[in-house]
Structure 1
């Protein structure tokens, strides 16, 4: 498509957008003057669905009127509440219902899964991750290898870009997996790197990891609700994700877990156990001896977090109503391409500003990371003063994420216009 940087062109794209009305289902933050902001920070915290408040109020009412009986009565008894999220979650990540469960928070779930899927031996003990991963992943892996009596500097192998490059090449990831061979126990990589916005070829990574005998998992914090995933078909062993970024389920929202169905009936697989993961047929008999539920649900520890899950259910409903990730991804690619056009149309030298997110739509989500070599913080403040809500990452990266559920092409055009105003002053 031949893009134009004008408001009229953006308005034409918005008029053709089948998803344009979903924007009205969200609360858009306002500037101090009362104008709508251009919110491009959904990769950090998604906006509040208007349905969220009513969803939580319904559970407050159930608690108010029924007390403990709310576990067993009402339209959505709490005893089975997490099950109301299963079908939508499975569709979201390309899984079978038995392979997913919603519980806890992201890093908690990452630890629970690593307990089961990082099982080092004297020979096979190394874990492969991308360098510059989100700190929680780094801390989790460091502590996991230490619990096995290993030194992180020896057990953890970090993938880094080639000199002069900002992102990893797929062939280098696959080559490193092959090089590590039978010393590699586990691969754990972010589906989308939070800093650069690079999306990794999860199918190829999984195949390569399995070929050398390693387990393969992904932190999908920046991929769930952003990319069209097919975890079951890709043969991924395990994965987890948060719900507060592209899934719009509120700050600190609940987390999703995927465990491939080949582990569904593996009570021998080491795990940390809790009573909510116990076989429900005799859970309330309070017996000793943990017998895990079938599938991912067997990794649960505690009762469902009803209020966060109520928000999450409302948010997932919007994804389904929009036509799922296929429809959202189609709009997302066009939105991000338009943003890329507007940034490149500034015609600034790389020594001043460069996009470090891959240009290939298949290798990125709906995020562009701009490396601002001079006065980056001033540009971020300039955007903020104009009502453009972006994200600043030290030392000099600005992340912009046009989210297909609530961002418009007009939003993107407005951001490009403000960038052009800054560029005119900076040249």
Structure 2
């Protein structure tokens, strides 16, 4: 697309946007009686207007039925509380490119990461190593460190970190070369699918293929990728993945996480940290010894689900699944491409790759001189982004509720700083 730096051009793009009606399905926060420009969906997505009704329904069921509410079908989801996870599986599978049996909403991201590591990190004396990227999100780093230590190994010796080059980005070739160089001692490849700081999208398909060629298990943290960029976990042959849902999926603060376990592992009798809710559902209330897992990803559940969180997740998830990841990706690429064009005109250094295939909804701006002052100016102008020390402003126009006019107005404030 050939972009133009004008408000009229931005408004024209909005008029032609096939997804423009989705904005009306979200509450836009206000400041001094005016809608803010919210470019922080990479940290917390906005509230769907349908969220209040589903919470009120669950509260009403709890109030009127008590424990019997577990078995009363919610007409909004066509499931009783006891089966809410099933209501999420079809739309979730569409969003992550999976079969419904391969996904399950549950827990929080880091809890799920630990559960999956207990299954898929099985080190031996000859193959104890994990390959990841340097500077990945802290929870991932801490989870890997503690699992390595719990198996009796030293993280400094066992954890292989692929480091960024001088421009702050990590090349696909560096990851592939790292896998090949350490293939004989690698037990696992685990990394983010999209870098939380730089906004770089990694070629998960190619990474998974390289790992498979060397017989190495591969998993991804999709916290910043899910609902942001299309993924095809089943077709790519990814072994496992987990994510959060409160960013681009808009499921609410601390919203329910989820997991993917490829069907090739469903009948493998893999080790796991078990809990009551993962026990074979028809026999769950027999309360017998000896764990018998539910089929598929559901067998990795451990605890009774948070019903209000699950309701919010289903409500928000339906919106993303309805819009479709391909259409969302197309608009997101245009929004981010327009912002990238305008920022470059303003002389701003964008850390995020200039290759659209390596970008999601987020652009990371490096402003070494006066960065925090610029960020504060944006806030004063009613623009909400995200500040990361020491000099990074993250801006993430989300295709479900952000507009091209908002992109132009953000860049206009920056250009006049």
The match for 1:133 among 126, 131, 136 is 136
Matches within 5 A, 1:7-46: 7-31=7-31, 33-46=32-45
> What is the aligned partner in structure 2 of residue 2 from structure 1?
2
| Within-5 A mapping of 1:227-376 | 227-267=229-269, 269-322=270-323, 324-346=324-346, 348=347, 353-376=348-371
Listed one character per residue, the Cα deviations across residues 83-129 of structure 1 (whole Å, up to 9, x for unaligned) are 10000010010000110000000000000000000110001111011
| Stretches of structure 1 lacking an aligned partner (at least 5 in a row) | 423-427
Residue 373 of structure 1: how far off its partner (Å): 1.5
Map 1:75-90 → 2, pairs under 5 A:
75=74, 76-90=79-93
Contact 1:356 1:371 in 2 (8 A): yes
Aligned to 1:425: none
2:122 corresponding residue in structure 1: 119
How much has 1:74 moved relative to structure 2? Answer: 2.8
Matches within 5 A, 1:172-187: 172-187=174-189
1:40-72 deviation line (CA, Å, top 9, x unaligned): 000001011111111111111111111111111
- Whether the aligned pair in 1 keeps the contact of 2:108 and 2:257 (CA below 8 Å) is yes
Q: Give the equivalent residue in structure 1 for 2:192.
A: 190
Corresponding residue SS for 1:127: strand
Deviations 1:246-285 (A, max 9, x none): 0001110000100000111222x11000011111121111
Deviations 1:172-208 (A, max 9, x none): 1100100001101111110100000000011111111
Q: Deviations over 1:116-151 (max 9, x none)?
A: 001100011110111110100011101010000111
* Equivalenced residues, count: 413
Using the size of structure 1 for normalisation, the TM-score is 0.96
In structure 2, C-alpha distance between the alignment counterparts of 1:290 and 1:86, rounded to whole Å: 23
TM (normalized to structure 2)? 0.98
Which residue of 1 is the match for residue 147 of structure 2? Answer: 144
Judge conservation of contact 1:107–1:140 (CA < 8 Å) in 2.
Answer: yes
Counterpart Cα distance in 2 of 1:27 and 1:5: 28
In 2, Cα distance between equivalents of 1:37 and 1:4: 24
| Shift in Å, 1:321 | 2.4
The SS at the match of 2:3 is coil
Return the alpha-carbon distance in structure 2 between the equivalents of residues 391 and 34 of structure 1.
Answer: 22
Is the 1:98–1:264 Cα contact (8 Å) retained in structure 2?
no
Name the residue aligned to 1:91: 94
Match of 1:222 among 213, 218, 224: 224
The SS at the match of 2:34 is coil
Question: Is the Cα–Cα contact under 8 Å of residues 94 and 229 in structure 1 kept in the other structure?
Answer: yes
Shift of 1:409: 0.5
How far apart are residue 213 of structure 1 and its match? 2.1
Give the 5 Å matches for 1:101-120. Answer: 101-120=104-123
Give yes or no for contact 2:92–2:321 (8 Å, CA) kept in 1: no
C-alpha RMSD over aligned residues = 0.8
Alpha-carbon contact 1:192-1:200 (below 8 Å) kept: yes
Aligned partners of 1:231 and 1:290: how far apart in 2? 28
- In the alignment, is the contact (CA less than 8 A) between 2:276 and 2:302 conserved in 1? yes
Query: Per-residue deviation at 1:238?
Result: 0.3
Partner Cα separation in structure 1 for residue 190 and residue 150 of structure 2: 17
2 CA distance for matches of 1:155 and 1:364? 30
1:210: Cα distance to partner? 1.7
Asked if 1:160 corresponds to 2:163, the answer is yes
Aligned 8 A contact 2:99 2:234 in 1:
yes
Q: Quote the Cα distance in structure 1 between the aligned partners of 2:217 and 2:258.
A: 19
**Hey, what's the Cα distance between the residues in 2 that align with 1:321 and 1:315?**
10
Distance 2:307 2:5 in 1: 45
CA distance, structure 1, for counterparts of residue 274 and residue 330 of structure 2: 40
> For the residues of structure 1 that align with 2:296 and 2:318, how far apart are their CA atoms?
23
